[in-house]
């Protein structure tokens, strides 16, 4: 079997907060294990504060986990040589939601994009940096490039800026892009085009994507043939092939998330039962519930759920679920 491009092995990340005399800890990510193959797409989904960005930054080597390992092509990234680490940091790029913050406002698009090309010596002989930057702008459909090269970030729309950010990530020939809510600040009408662009980058250039979002619909759209991992309060509760996980969700939390997604067809909508949670409040991540973290909100919770932490276990069809009652949870939609 091929070696995964990136793997997290039992990764936990604890943040310390507060002053020295009043310390508190937040376990943002708790014992997460995942693999991504070269060329694959993984959607990482969950509500605000569940640890998605922390995982993304651990994958991109911006956070060093307090426990566990991050492996790139089988090697622990924190034990790489200087040269290997440099290659890894070039090959794994992070793109986040705020394209305005990502670009230096005092540099033109050409200046922003040529810097990494020159830094890594990626301008082929016989070509100018300007030509190469122009080619990348064409790849992200900012055409003709001459109209964009000498513009400043504030002269572009949000959607155009996010394309520039993606083009800049591409200039260093990445193997994986961690895209953290890349379309959430873009007008709804332009989101689809950006998702299509990322799908094209994946298909035509073989770039893998870790797509971080709280939106199940875009996760399904982008990662259609790929994998999805659903997080709750720092833990992974369900993971597997997107189509299967979303068609037959097993974890009550995922069922609740899906039942809250509006359906355009009124007949389907009426026949669909909303899964009633016992509490709508998200527990304090600094003091998560014992046992299964979801149990205080879960409509099916039993005694075991408040005492024992469930681990991910394989179900029929390749889906893995962390729930003590997984065999007995009624199918959804009903």
Ligand X SMILES: Nc1ncnc2c1ncn2[C@@H]1O[C@H](COP(=O)(O)OP(=O)(O)OP(=O)(O)O)[C@@H](O)[C@H]1O
- Closer to ligand X by Cβ: residue 12 or 54: 54
Q: Is 66 exposed, middle or buried (0-12, 13-18, 19+ CB in 10 A)?
A: middle
- 15 touches which of ligand X, Mg ion, none (CB within 5 to 8 A by kind)? ligand X
Collapse the DSSP code of 318 into the 3-class scheme (helix H, G, I; strand E, B; otherwise coil) and give the result: coil
- 54 touches which of ligand X, Mg ion, none (CB within 5 to 8 A by kind)? ligand X
Whether 249 contacts 332, CB under 8 Å: yes
**Which range in 50-58, 129-137, 199-207, 326-334 contacts Mg ion by CB under 5 A?**
50-58
Whether 313 contacts 319, CB under 8 Å: no
**Which range in 16-24, 46-54, 113-121, 225-233 contacts Mg ion by CB under 5 A?**
46-54
- Closer to ligand X by Cβ: residue 28 or 60: 28
How many angstroms separate the Cα of 99 from the Cα of each of 163, 165, 168?
9, 7, 11
Residue number of the CB closest to Mg ion reads 53
- 51 touches which of ligand X, Mg ion, none (CB within 5 to 8 A by kind)? ligand X
**Which range in 48-56, 197-205, 256-264, 318-326 contacts Mg ion by CB under 5 A?**
48-56
Whether 109 contacts 50, CB under 8 Å: no
Q: In the complex, which residues of this chain contact ligand X (CB under 6 A)? A: 15, 17, 26, 28, 46, 48-54, 214, 285
- Closer to ligand X by Cβ: residue 51 or 145: 51
**Which range in 51-59, 93-101, 188-196, 314-322 contacts Mg ion by CB under 5 A?**
51-59
Through-space distance between the first and last CA atoms of the chain, rounded to whole angstroms: 38
- Closer to ligand X by Cβ: residue 170 or 178: 178
d(CA 276, CA 297): 9
Residue 177's closest CA among 165, 191, 193?
A: 165
- Closer to ligand X by Cβ: residue 219 or 329: 219
Largest Cα–Cα separation, the chain: 70
53 binds Mg ion (CB under 5 A): yes
Neighbours of 272 (CB within 10 A): 16
d(CA 163, CA 140): 6
- Closer to ligand X by Cβ: residue 54 or 112: 54
> CB 16 → ligand X: shortest distance, Å?
7
- 90 touches which of ligand X, Mg ion, none (CB within 5 to 8 A by kind)? none
Q: Which two tokens stand for residue 179?
A: 């895209």
């Amino acid at each position: 079997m091929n070696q995964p491009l990136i793997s997290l092995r039992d990764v936990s990340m604890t943040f310390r907060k507060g002053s020295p005399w009043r310390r508190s800890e937040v376990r943002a990510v708790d014992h997460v294990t995942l693999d991504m193959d070269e060329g694959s797409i993984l959607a990482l989904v969950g509500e605000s504060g569940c640890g998605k960005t922390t995982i993304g930054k651990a994958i991109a080597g911006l956070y060093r986990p307090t426990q566990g390992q991050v492996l790139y092509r089988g090697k622990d990234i924190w034990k790489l040589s200087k040269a290997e680490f440099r290659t890894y940091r070039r090959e794994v790029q992070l793109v986040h939601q705020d394209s305005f913050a990502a670009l230096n406002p005092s540099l033109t698009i050409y200046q922003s994009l040529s810097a990494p090309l020159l830094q890594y010596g990626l301008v082929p002989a016989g070509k100018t940096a300007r030509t190469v930057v122009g080619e990348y702008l064409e790849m992200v459909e900012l055409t003709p490039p001459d109209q964009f090269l000498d513009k400043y970030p504030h002269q572009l729309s949000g959607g155009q800026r996010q394309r520039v950010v993606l083009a800049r990530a591409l200039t260093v020939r990445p193997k994986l892009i961690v895209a953290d809510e890349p379309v959430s600040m873009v007008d709804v009408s332009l989101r689809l085009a950006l998702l299509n662009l990322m799908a094209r980058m994946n298909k035509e250039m073989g770039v893998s994507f870790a797509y971080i979002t709280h939106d199940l619909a875009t996760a399904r759209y982008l990662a259609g043939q790929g994998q999805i991992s659903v997080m709750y309060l720092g833990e992974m509760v369900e993971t597997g092939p997107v189509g299967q996980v979303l068609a037959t969700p097993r974890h009550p939390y995922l069922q609740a998330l899906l039942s809250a997604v509006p359906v355009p067809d009124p007949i389907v909508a009426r026949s669909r039962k909303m899964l009633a949670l016992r509490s709508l409040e998200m527990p304090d991540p600094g003091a998560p519930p014992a046992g299964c973290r979801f149990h205080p909100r879960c409509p099916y919770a039993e005694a075991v759920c408040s005492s024992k932490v469930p681990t991910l276990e394989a179900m029929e069809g390749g889906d893995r679920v962390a729930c003590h009652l997984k065999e007995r949870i009624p199918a959804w939609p009903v």
